[in-house]
Amino acid sequence: MDASVPRNKAQDPILRLQGLSKRFGGLEAVSGFTMTLERGELKGLIGPNGAGKSTLFHLISGLYKPTKGNFFLEKNELTGQTPDKIVAKGIARTFQTVKLLENSSVLESMRTAFFMSYGYKPWDLFFHTKRYRRQEEAFKEKAHEYLSLLGVQDLMDMNGNELAYGLQRKVSIAMTLCLNPKILLLDEPMAGLTHTEKNELTETILRLKERFELSIILVEHDMKVIMNLCETIAVMNQGRLIAEGSGSEIRNNAQVVEAYLGTSDV
């Protein structure tokens, strides 16, 4: 019996979505969405514009409260929790549009992400106590480390908002690493990047996944990226999960083709 417990635990999915729904007035943006994410899995989430992918991310990150359904991280139910609690439990996300703090350095933007791990008090700051200096050192070291993983460590003191789009995106991914995530939700991280940048970022994502033992859901429009990167692909249309499987299964799925191209008899 003792042996069976850890084995079962290892097989439990890390994230479980059960019939998640979100209704805005007359529109059901996400509708009865059920899906699981295994530990260490990299799942691609695709679907036409307006399929509800971003809404689903908003639900999982706590920005929206689901109208129906619930979701679990490991054994913990997270339904209805606030974004900061969900982040603290280990689900971090990026946004489609990158927003770094205005007129602040990259380092300052990253400081926000360290909010929860700050341990010093205002007086430590005022008197520049040892505790303050130690934490500042640690913070800068971590920030530098995470930025290096994305190859943007030289930008630490630059104004975040003036960086090129692709670089801002990398910074925002580095920020999510500061949150010690178990699960990363990446919302179109490749949009607007050049071909080379996409290849680079693809490799980086794989590297981060290994290093931090992440489970990732990736929303992306570039099918090449999705096919290269993801072990499994989930397809969403009109708020529903219409197919899930490997790249070739998805490519040959009639419903998926229909969702993207429309039916032939229209």
Partner 1 sequence: MDYFLQQLINSLGWGSLNALMAAGYTMTFGIIGLVNFAHGEVMMVGALTAFWVMVFLQLPFWLGCLAALLGSIVVGLLIERIAFKPLRGAGMISLFITSLAASFGIRTLFIMLFTDRVKPFPVPDFLKGVLLLGNLILFKKTILIVLLTLFFCGLVIYFVKYTKTGAAMRAMSYDPEIAGTMGVPTERIIVVVFAMASFLAGLAAIFWGIKFGSVRCSMGVIMVVNAFIASVLGGIGNVSGAIVAGYIIGIGETLFVAYLPDHLVGLRPLFVWIVLFVLLIFKPSGLFRPNIK
Tell which one of 46, 87, 183, 230 touches partner 1 (CB under 8 A).
Answer: 87
26 binds partner 1 (CB under 8 A): no
218 binds partner 1 (CB under 8 A): no
Min dist. Cβ of residue 87 to partner 1 (A): 4
What's the one-letter identity of residue 158? M
- Nearer to partner 1 among residue 87 and residue 149 (C-beta): 87
- Nearer to partner 1 among residue 91 and residue 233 (C-beta): 91
Tell which one of 75, 122, 157, 261 touches partner 1 (CB under 8 A).
Answer: 122
Tell which one of 9, 24, 50, 115 touches partner 1 (CB under 8 A).
Answer: 115
Nearest-angstrom CA–CA distance, 217 and 213 = 13
Q: In sequence order, what E strands does 86-239 have?
A: 91-93, 183-187, 215-219, 232-237
101 binds partner 1 (CB under 8 A): yes
194 binds partner 1 (CB under 8 A): no
Indicate the burial class of 11 (C-beta count within 10 angstroms; 0-12, 13-18, 19 or more).
exposed
User: 């990253």: which residue's tokens?
Assistant: 110
Task: Give the residue from 197, 165, 190, 185 showing the smallest Cα distance to 99.
Answer: 165
Tell which one of 12, 50, 88, 145 touches partner 1 (CB under 8 A).
Answer: 88
- Nearer to partner 1 among residue 92 and residue 233 (C-beta): 92
- Nearer to partner 1 among residue 135 and residue 202 (C-beta): 135
* Contacts for 156-159: CB closer than 8 Å, 24+ residues apart: 156/105, 156/106, 156/107, 157/105, 157/106, 157/107, 158/105, 158/106, 159/103, 159/104, 159/105, 159/106
Nearest-angstrom CA–CA distance, 141 and 159 = 19
Stretch that binds partner 1, among 25-33, 78-86, 150-158, 204-212 (CB under 8 A): 78-86
Stretch that binds partner 1, among 61-69, 140-148, 212-220, 243-251 (CB under 8 A): 61-69
User: Do residues 33 and 20 make contact, with C-beta atoms less than 8 angstroms apart?
Assistant: yes
How big, in percent rounded to 5, are the helix, strand and coil portions of the chain?
45, 25, 35
Write out the residues near partner 1 by the rule CB under 8 A: 61-63, 82-85, 87-88, 92-93, 95, 99, 101-104, 108, 111-113, 115-116, 118, 120, 122, 125-126, 175, 179
